[in-house]
Amino acid sequence: MSGSMHDVVRLLRQAGALALLAALAACVTQETRPLPKLNPVQATEQIPEAELLDVGIRAFDANIPEQYKDDEEELARRRIFPEVRQAESAYLPGLLRATLEGSGQWGAVRVVPPNATVDVVVDGRIIGSTGARLALVVTVTDSMGRVWIKDKAYEGEADLGSYKTDAALQARDPFQNVYSQIANDMLAARAALTSADLREIRRVTELRFAGEFAPQAVQGYLSTDKQGISRVARLPAEGDPLMERIDRIRERDLSVIDTFDGYHASFTDKVESTYGNFRRVSQEEIEKEDRARASARTRTVLGAAAVLASVLIPDQCSGGDYTCRNVQSAARTAGAVGGVAGVMSGIKKYSEAKVHAEALKELADTFRAEAAPLVVEVEGRTLKLTGTAEEQYREWRALLHQIYLEETGGVVAGAPPQDSPAVTPSE
């Protein structure tokens, strides 16, 4: 083979390599694998009533960054939609409640007002929440002041199998693994306590509730150690009429807490389908956006490399070899054209990513409209269970204190719960 033909063959190979380099920009794939399913540990034997702890889950902290609260563009870029987050702060505790209830390991599990007196309290903060990923920080304490779990991060990717059909989405939440892990960690913390510890938690809960209504009468029943843990110093006499009245009041209080919990259950049922579809479609949009951005980067970088390589093809033809020069020119042109096409394709992909991000924002707007709070009637009083639930419950506690004074005739002096306003019962 002549030297000229060797040059032509080499140039054709270079042209093919440049074309391949530009074509690689279009090849961006993402492999997804099903997540292993984690379930809460189930109770295998009946737990004694005296050791069966009630659990109260407070509304989660929506955790909307203060510095960006008025910057919709920045919040959208961070995939934070305030109204959705507010809805999630009420919705996600219901999913955890269902997980704990389903394990059979606990007594009554409720979503409760912030200052409710419960054996075990769960607080959560939303760190990140999209259709693709959920991240929470959780703290669990008992009524004695013992910390079971402190600011522990829980996060996980969505189980894409839950998004396949409506039935699959209803059967298992995409982030069930996160709630199961929290439930199992709570169970592990409880397992580290003795039977005596569990019984004492329940007694302390009762005495703390009584202390909110008759602090002087129950003075001396509780003591606090150096670690800040409340313990039972002594118990009221069997059949103590004061404690019997307190027990009746506590039953009324639990009925109101049940109403709060019922609101959350109703809210969960109402938005379950809408929110599930929102997360499913938002996951698809996020995936498209991420793929578009990755493809854009790949296409742009490889396209630019192809253009640069075409320019840098060395002159390998002799002066009078026109055939070689024609092939060399064609190779440079092919590389440049293919590279520019790759760059333009990358720019187009960035535009697609913006479209998908905007679609996600529109989906969030739709969800906001359907996730409006509810209003419930309790004891003839209207309670709007939104961000003011704490104030509403404090008002209810003040009313309970008045009921207690009416029943006792004010014989036992006791201050109303701290920061509670005076309330006149509704007619």
- Reported as a single tens digit per residue, the pLDDT across 253-284 is 898 888 888 878 887 887 788 888 888 887 88
Q: Is 92 exposed, middle or buried (0-12, 13-18, 19+ CB in 10 A)?
A: buried
Q: Which domain holds residue 337?
A: 9-29+287-370
Q: What pLDDT is recorded for position 306? A: 46
CA dihedral 204, 207, 213, 215 (to 10 degrees): -100
Q: What pLDDT is recorded for position 33? A: 65
Give me the helices (H) in 114-240, please.
166-171, 176-191, 195-213
Give domain status of residue 353, yes or no: yes
Give domain status of residue 229, yes or no: no
Pairing verdict, β 55-58 and 109-112 = parallel
DSSP E strand stretches across 228-330: 230-232
What's the one-letter identity of residue 264?
A: H
Q: Is 346 exposed, middle or buried (0-12, 13-18, 19+ CB in 10 A)?
A: buried
Domain count of the chain? Answer: 1
Q: Which has the closest alpha carbon to 197: 232, 224, 237?
A: 232
Distance CA 277, CA 397 (A): 39
| Burial call 150-186: b when 16+ CB within 10 Å, e when fewer | eeeebebebbbebbeeeebbeeebbbbbbbbbbbbbb
Q: What pLDDT is recorded for position 244? A: 87
First and final C-alpha spacing in the chain: 108
Give domain status of residue 162, yes or no: no
DSSP E strand stretches across 247-373: none
> What is 33-94 written as a DSSP string?
-PPPP--PPPP-SPPPGGG---EEEEPPB----GGGTT-HHHHHHTT--HHHHHHHHHHHHH
pTM score > 0.75 for this model? no
Give domain status of residue 281, yes or no: no
Give domain status of residue 221, yes or no: no
Give domain status of residue 426, yes or no: no
Please state at what angle helix 82-103 crosses helix 241-311, rounded to 10 degrees.
120
Establish how many alpha carbons lie within 13 A of residue 328's alpha carbon, considering only the half-sphere containing its beta carbon. Answer: 18
Q: Which has the closest alpha carbon to 154: 127, 183, 178?
A: 178
Supply φ then ψ for residue 49, to 5 degrees.
-55, -40
Give domain status of residue 214, yes or no: no
Reading the block at residue 336, the tokens are 């440049």
Residue with tokens 């920045």: 74
Residues of the chain predicted below pLDDT 70: 1-33, 290, 292-361, 363-392, 409-427
Q: What pLDDT is recorded for position 349? A: 46
* DSSP code at position 317: S
Give domain status of residue 377, yes or no: no
* DSSP code at position 160: G
